[in-house]
Amino acid sequence: MTMRAVILISGRGSNMQALLEAGLPVDFACVISNRPEAAGLAIAARHGVPTVVIDHRQHDGRAAFDAALAEEIDRHAPDLVILAGFMRVLTEDFVRHYANRLVNIHPALLPAFPGLDTHARALAAGVKLHGCTVHFVTPEVDAGPIIAQAAVPVLADDTPETLAARVLRQEHRLFPLAVRWLAEGRVRLREDGGTALLPARDGDVDDALISPTG
């Protein structure tokens, strides 16, 4: 059976675009943005995916916005809700409603650097490896079970912008891979709260996921 998914975005939608163009066994039922000006809406429309705007500024607080968002998501009955650059902190009730169905990509190697400004913080900390993480979403921000990670080197002359660009290239590889694993039923949550993957197949992962040349 094909997995049915809804994608949430707030901006340019580059990770969403990577998912839509990856040939995944996924029916992308809708793309929802909390910002009507989000460039990703036009990209989704060009790919034939219906789009909806639920402007958080038109709702009285986080709980009211999340309730409206959940009502729209549930109309599509998704198996998976994908946060692809969705720049909102979600309420605990919303997260629990989609427990084990809500996934996010974060631009850092969690548990390092949760939250915002990850690239500047990585440079300030002097780390030698940085990267991105696909994880299940739980009520604690950026703390859910990890599905997959990709790493890149931190170079001596990096700025937050150059490091962000290097990480983003890996996000566009990693996110479709992780969603494919989910769609194929190859990811499960362990009793201890972690994740487990079924054995890798040829071509699943290559050395580009740790990218010495960027």
Catalytically active residues are 106
Q: How many CB atoms lie within 10 A of CB 91?
A: 19
Continuous segment of H or E residues that includes residue 167: helix 160-183
**C-alpha span between 108 and 131 (Å, rounded):** 5
Please report how the helices 160-183 and 118-125 are oriented relative to each other, as an axis angle in degrees rounded to 10.
120
Q: What is the distance between the alpha carbons of residues 8 and 104, in angstroms, rounded to a whole number?
A: 10
The candidate with the shortest Cα–Cα distance to 161, out of 107, 120, 189, is 120
In which residue are the tokens 């993480």 written? Answer: 133
Beta strands in 55-191 (DSSP E): 80-83, 102-106, 129-136, 146-153, 187-189
DSSP state of 209: G
Residue with tokens 């002359």: 157
